[in-house]
Amino acid sequence: MLYRSLGRTGVQVSTLALGAMNFGAIGNTSQEEATAIVDAALAGGVNLIDTADMYPGSEELVGRAIAGRRDDLVLATKAAMPIGAERNHRGTSRRWLVTELDNSLRRLGVDHVDLYQMHRWDPETSDEETLSALTDLQRAGKIRYFGSSTFPAYRIVQAQWTARERSLSRYVTEQPSYSILQRGIEADVLPVAQEYGLGVLAWSPLASGWLSGAVRAGQEIATSRAQALPERFDLSRPANQARLAAVEKLAALADEAGLTMIQLALGFVTAHPGVTSALIGPRTLDHLHSQLAAADTVLTGDVLDAIDEIVAPGIDLAPEEKFDTPPALLDAALRRR
């Protein structure tokens, strides 16, 4: 396993980090299975575990799995996404963050988290409100650092400016979606993160299974995501036809380079100088072992150039699946008088 500094914090983290979204209801993972995955991940050199309040049961499973070794790892969680129907149980207001962090600490069974991330930008809440609350929580010792997730580049810049102008602590990490098939962040988010010295934890490096070998031409799709999100795997859609065509070329490239598809995909993400870690989200031990096999994969320049020929830099093959689109592009009422 390789290790890199998490932005400018000085904290060293593994280039493959364990995402725990599949722990609990989403992946139908039991405590025994979750603990076995955490055990194997730590044994393989992983030292960062990432979860979120919105993953049902995940924080509880992670908390029990790390009991007795909490200080041996970097623990991250997230808030901001809706929790239930109550309108104020979401977002990044001081009211909610102070309450929900305590809920996360209780579920995790710890007295602090190392990294507290805002799961999405909240257009209803000012940067000053959010950063002020996070700074106070940091000073109280409940969080060591805080970061953003899936923020548009201009919101990352705005938050950095607000922190400086108001003498508040700043976001030190960003967690964007990034893979060979979704390269849009190369155009703006990654350069901005590098400019501000942010650590970058890339989620969905296997593109929801598209780059794991589970989606191939002429074969039945072998990923549980196809049942949960059928539109993302509907091969009648032009975006998915483009993805499948790219996957077939990437599979041939991986074979030629003597790599698995997973090694090619994870090696690509961790090759970018702006990326700190790729978040893997195994649902089973077999998934984990196939992903840990990419821990020391370093792609050659020739292979990276060949990937660029298949999917051009800065291009998203499924742009409609982006999660950082400005609200005014999604709601006509926000762009009309």
Q: How many whole angstroms separate alpha carbon 20 and alpha carbon 77? A: 10
Has domain 3-208+260-301+309-334 been given CATH number 3.20.20.100? Answer: yes
Name the residue ranges covered by the structural domains of the chain.
3-208+260-301+309-334
HSE-CB for 4 with a 13 A CA cutoff: 21
3 is catalytic: no
SS (H, E, C) the chain: CCEEECCCCCCEEECEEEECCCCECCCCECHHHHHHHHHHHHHCCCCEEECCCCCCCHHHHHHHHCCCCHHHCEEEEEECCCCCCCCCCCCCCHHHHHHHHHHHHHHHCCCCEEEEEECCCCCCCCHHHHHHHHHHHHHCCCEEEEEEECCCHHHHHHHHHHHHHCCCCCCCEEECECCCCECHHHCCHHHHHHHCCCEEEEECCCHHHCCCCCCCCCCCCCCCHHHHCHHHHCCCCHHHHHHHHHHHHHHHHHHHHCCCHHHHHHHHHHHCCCCCEEEECCCCHHHHHHHHCCCCCCCCHHHHHHHHHHCCCCCECCHHHCCCCCHHHHCHHHCCC
In this structure, are residues 311 and 180 in contact, taking their beta carbons and an 8 Å threshold?
yes
Structure tokens at 150: 């899936």
Question: So what's the pLDDT on residue 228?
Answer: 66
The pTM (predicted TM-score) of the whole model is 0.94
Query: Would you state the pLDDT for residue 225?
Result: 67
Q: 233 Cβ partners below 8 Å, 6+ apart?
A: 215, 221, 223, 225, 226, 240
* Active-site residue, from 3, 55, 145, 171: 55
Query: What are the average pLDDT values for consecutive 10-residue runs of the chain, which has 337 residues?
Result: 97 98 93 97 98 97 96 97 96 98 98 98 96 98 98 97 98 97 95 98 94 82 68 82 94 97 98 97 95 96 97 90 75 81
Whole-angstrom CA distances from 35 to 57, 160, 301 are 13, 37, 38
pLDDT at 201: 98
Encoded tokens for 325: 């689109």
| Cβ–Cβ < 8 Å for 160, 196 | yes
CB-neighbour burial class of residue 46 (10 A; exposed 0-12, middle 13-18, buried 19+): buried
